[in-house]
Structure 1
Amino acid sequence: MEFIVKSTRPETLKTATLVIPIGEGRTLGEIATAIDTASTGAISNLLKRGDLTGKLGQTLLAHNLPGLKAERVLLVGIGKDNELSDRQLRKIVTSVYSSLKTLGGSDAALALDELQVKNRDTYGKTRLMVESLADAGYCFDRFKSQKAEAGALKKITLLSDKAGLADAQRASSHAQAIATGMAFTKDLGNLPPNLCHPSYLAEEAKSLGKTYKNLKVEVLDEKKLKELGMGAFLAVAQGSDQPPRMIVLNYQGGKKTEKPFALVGKGITFDTGGISIKPAGGMDEMKYDMCGAASVFGTLKAVLELQLPINLVCLLACAENMPSGGATRPGDIVTSMSGQTVEILNTDAEGRLVLCDALTYVERFKPQAVIDIATLTGACIVALGSNVSGLMGNNDELVQQILGAGLTADDRAWQLPLYDEYQEQLDSPFADIANIGGPKAGTITAGCFLSRFAKKYHWAHLDIAGTAWISGGKDKGATGRPVPMLTQYLLDRSNA
């Protein structure tokens, strides 16, 4: 889908479909009034028939209205609130897209510039609209014998006044890059685990490296991981026939002397739980346990599309967690790259084991800040549901920056505490640390575990177990989160 922004009077625009807002109670704003005047009262006459009241998300299509160059006019209800919430704006544009994709026109123009959204300026409002429209058009039918029919709609124009044109164009550019990254993340997450394994993700990384000249890619194989002493990482993979891979992607968009930002993603391409095996019901969704790595891929893709003037290192810790005669057992003790020993009490707490070695490895890049992203704990879903991601960190400024980015991107997180008292739950009588802390505060103790390997830099941890995918039913699939949040964080650092 192509998105463009222009400043022109909607009543003079030649387009297949012109979209205009109608307030609840059939009220006309400035845009709808101008269209009504140009069409000699056609909009008012349509509304008098009672087919559309202006409730949020309602739509009504009209053809060949007099005095207009648009072939069709789509009326969309915007409700009665003077200021919309982000959620209400998303509902409006998603409803618009649902109507547009059923029509025969190849283009559409959205005259929604007058909509007021709480705490959003022209940039913020436009970006949210474009991201929502692009996301609504996502379809994953790679393995369907019968593909989804290609719609006629190819281009959407967003109309803006002249004063806000530059901000709206910048927002559209950013939104399209983020939407591209989200689609990449969703594609990877939705792939079946027999195809999407650690070696496959390594090939995806190499493909990116061939496309973008300022991206260097290195893949650490099992031999190299052993040489580095990544005993925790290797313990997770030793029950699987699929070899583990640590994927290192180094993007140079800033000055050589600038320290990079770092993203570290959990890439468990399938998680049976290992010897501590999961229940069979819903286990198919454990292909999504690599969504942390997928979201790093997607964020990097957005950064590459925008060519942000920053340096960025991405580490993807990729393995498959399977039970076998060679699998790690509960009670095993392994030595991490940092030299700390870990007693593995539960093999289903494997994400923190691959991440802890990745967090040690990232030290060599002397990063400004490190964010790890992982579908780490079911406890996070219990605590926060599927609306916000869990956030912890060892630097308050970094945590606040991520929280702020989440608000700007409408991809929110909620901070959880990392008090010293929680660390005591990880005590082991036999090793330096246990890999689980008992049934209480499972998300926090997982963060506490990781914090022990991230003491040499500013670090934050995002638990996306509840936000990375939608479970069950016809809508099951990866969400592409937290690509918007992470990209916004990097946009903020680059002042782009």
Structure 2
Amino acid sequence: MLQTLIRPLMLAAFLALVSAPADARRELRFDAYAVPASGTIALAVAEGDDPGAVFAEIDAANAGALRRAVAAAAFQGKPNTQLDLPGIGRYDRVLLVGIGSGPVTPRVLEDVGGAVGQMAARSPAERIELLWAGTEPDAAAHLAFGADLGQYRFDTYRMPPTDMPVTGQGDLVIRTPAGAAAAERYRAQWQPVAEAVRFARDLVTEPGNVLYPEAFVERTRAAFRGVPGVSIEVLDVPAMQELGMGGILSVGQGSARPPRLLLVRYDGGTRGEPPLAFVGKGITFDTGGVSLKPNDGMWRMKTDMGGAAAVTGAVLALAARRAPVNAVAVAALAENMPSGMAARPGDVVRTAAGRTFEITSTDAEGRMVLVDALWYVQRQYRPRVVIDVATLTGAVVTALGDDYAGLFSRDDALAAQLTAAGEASGEAVWRLPLHPSYARDIQSPIADVRHSGGRGAGAGIGAHFIGTWVDEGVSWAHLDIAGMAWFEDSIQPTVPPGATAFGVRLLDRFVRDVHE
């Protein structure tokens, strides 16, 4: 009898937990430019003798209190600096964000907004106002975009605090002379990207017991529901078996959660024009399989589907903002678990392309799921560009840390375009070589190739292996984002600690700059 009572209670508690809002956030609003008489405000401050017209106006209205506080704190408005001042003049709080003395680019504006967004997420103030005297609608839109990214937080599994004030709720107002034009620009072009980043961050943050291949598919269906020009295809295990997708099936066979291949197609461009293909590694949890990872840090392996989240989020951004392109996101989804059914080192796997590879470590599973996904999208859609995104190797983290994703490509023009998009979006990439010697490193005595090899150049060898499944003549790039998917600390104003959704903004910027 007791069990019959407990089970419904446990189920109700679980449903209440998973149905909680993923985050509390402020409503972003736009209003006419004016200096508020009181409250919590934020503004950008230039470096040098002239900190800006907004600064001067606020300082004059408060009998020089702002300038005295800045002098006392030796704040100079240098880039990436902030000064948080409580109780200045008639204001509860004033946040100053340094922008330096260089050009005020969209990146600079987004970082200002991000800094304000992060402050707003921690503040109990009901209303926070970011002042910008410039008249350009795009400038204010970029401020709002940064603020939306910066205020991200994930509270699904937290109990509401009872002994502390509620934070991060209310309004975040951009006060600008651009007014309605800025609001329209933001809502049409940048809010969809911010929402796509939020979607991808939520996916990466979810624990592995909640987000598994089938759950990823359902979350994606929900996110795209009602978005025009979108079609979704899902391959289950029987469909993949019929196609001979031994790579993804071998990774998923050790788990009770079956793998899935998810394709989201968006047709917003010229009818019949080949799409851009974005292919993502989607290991919803990675134990390493039989080649078991050490316990230290394994909890973070829920993020091993960051590539799949990024490419799906990127196409969500394109579709929601009605980008004039055709694009397809492919998420190769599996859970890598050890069991009596799991693949073993030394096994030989036949892929859908007919080529075989010898497994050297079941912990190099990302490339195993990607090769079948790459084969399928090339056969089905004949894409004009293929970019795969994966948390692939620890070697790239050793090489580049958490400052850059690794970029590998046989196409110099594509590599240059992605590098430029990375600079513009704030998601930087660094090109690494695809040396011909990597082919020798993956020679196998019993299969077409080994799926890894050698002690050096692990990131390059992984990229080379993946690239052998890309048809000659196809413009292809591989992004290894292993160091960029999760930040323990806040490294960038627009990226709070936790899941970054690295790749969503990069791919959106690449499409804007090159294909629109």
Shorter chain as normaliser: what TM range? 0.7 to 0.9
Return closer, same or farther for 1:82/1:316 CA change in 2, 3 Å cut-off. Answer: closer
Displacement of 1:361: 0.4
Q: Specify whether residues 161 and 214 from structure 1 end up closer, same or farther in structure 2 by C-alpha distance, changes over 3 A only.
A: closer
Residue 54 of structure 2 is aligned with which of 17, 21, 31? 31
Give the conservation status (yes or no) of the 8 Å contact 2:264–2:312.
Answer: no
CA distance in 2, matches of 1:59, 1:26: 20
Any gaps of 5 or more consecutive residues in structure 2?
A: 1-25, 491-495
* Aligned residue type for 2:82: G
SS of equivalent to 1:397: helix
1:437 maps to which of 453, 476, 486: 453
How far residue 380 of structure 1 moved from its aligned partner, in angstroms, is 0.6
Residue 459 (structure 1) shift: 1.0
Does the 8 A contact of 1:76 with 1:92 survive in 2?
A: no
2:88 is aligned with 1:60: no
Residue type of the alignment partner of 1:293: A
In structure 2, how many angstroms separate the alpha carbons of the residues matched to 1:112 and 1:78? Answer: 16
Q: 1:261 aligns with which of 256, 276, 283?
A: 276
Alignment-derived partner of residue 207 in structure 1:
222
Inter-partner Cα distance in structure 1 for 2:362 and 2:410:
26
1:460 aligns with 2:474: no
Q: 2: distance between equivalents of 1:43 and 1:102?
A: 26
Question: How far apart are 1:470 and its partner, in Å?
Answer: 2.1
Cα deviation per residue 1:311-337 (whole Å; 9 max; x = unaligned)? 111111001111111111111111111
Alpha-carbon offset, residue 255 of structure 1? 2.4
Offset of 1:178 from its aligned partner? 2.0
The one-letter code sitting in structure 2 at the alignment partner of 1:149 is V
Mapping of 1:392-471 within 5 angstroms? Answer: 392-456=408-472, 457-471=474-488
Q: What's the offset of the Cα at 1:367?
A: 0.7
Which residue number corresponds to residue 132 of structure 1? 146
2:252 pairs, out of 228, 233, 237, with: 237
Question: What is the deviation of 1:493?
Answer: 3.8
CA deviations 1:281-309 (Å, max 9, x no partner) are 11111111111111112212212221111
Distance 1:54 1:91, change over 3 A: farther
When residues 261 and 193 of structure 1 are mapped into structure 2, their CA distance, relative to the original with a 3 A threshold, is: same
Segment of structure 1 superposing worse, 206-215 or 83-92: 83-92
- Residue in structure 2 matching 1:180, options 189, 195, 198: 195
How far did residue 171 of structure 1 move? 5.8
Counterparts of 2:411 and 2:304 in 1: how far apart (Å)?
A: 27
Once the two structures are TM-superposed, the CA of residue 225 in structure 1 deviates from its matched residue by 0.2
- SS of 1:78's equivalent in the other structure is strand
Q: 1:77 and 1:54 mapped to 2: Cα distance?
A: 10
Q: For residues 7-406 of structure 1, what are the structure 2 equivalents within 5 Å?
A: 9-11=33-35, 16-22=39-45, 28-37=51-60, 39=61, 42-48=62-68, 51-55=72-76, 56-61=81-86, 74=94, 76=96, 78=98, 81-82=101-102, 92-100=112-120, 102-111=123-132, 113=134, 123=138, 129-146=143-160, 149-159=166-176, 170=185, 173-363=188-378, 364-406=380-422
Q: Quote the Cα distance in structure 1 between the aligned partners of 2:125 and 2:509.
A: 35
State the one-letter code of the partner of 2:228.
Answer: K
Distance 1:280-1:214 versus aligned 2 partners, 3 A rule: same
Equivalent residue pairs, number: 475
Matching residue's letter, 2:429: A
Per-residue CA deviations over 1:426-475 (Å, capped at 9, x if unaligned) read 111111110002211000000100111002421111100000112599x8
Match of 1:481 in 2: 502
1:216 is paired with a residue whose SS is: strand
**Cα 1:257–1:82 shift into 2, 3 Å:** closer
Give the deviation of 1:34 after TM superposition. Answer: 3.8
Residue by residue over 1:178-212, the C-alpha shift from the partner in whole angstroms, topping out at 9 and shown as x without a partner, is: 22111111111111111111111121232234332
Whether contact under 8 Å (1:264, 1:355) holds in the other structure is yes
**Structure 1 residue matching 2:437: 3-state secondary structure:** helix
Aligned residues with identical type, % of pairs? 34
Q: Identify which range, 345-354 or 54-63, moves more after superposition.
A: 54-63
Q: Distance in 2 between matches of 1:180 and 1:425?
A: 42
Which is further off, 89-98 or 320-329? 89-98
SS at structure 1 position matched to 2:430: strand
Q: Which residue in the other structure is 1:118 paired with?
A: none
Q: How far apart, CA to CA, are the structure 2 residues paired with 1:345 and 1:87?
A: 43
Alignment check: 8 A CA contact 1:276 1:347 kept: yes
Deviation at 1:26, TM superposition (A): 7.8
SS at match of 1:318: strand
- Note the alpha carbon deviations across 1:371-426, whole angstroms, 9 max, x for none: 11100000010010011101112222222111111111011101111121222111
Superimposed CA distance per residue, residues 8-58 of structure 1 (whole angstroms, 9 cap, x where no aligned partner): 5534x6885443444568854233334445x3xx25244336555434301
SS class of match (1:10) = coil
User: Is the 8 Å Cα contact of residues 391 and 481 (structure 2) preserved in structure 1?
Assistant: yes
Output one character per residue of 1:73-109: Cα deviation in whole Å (capped at 9) or x when no partner. 7351527645579987666544434554525343513
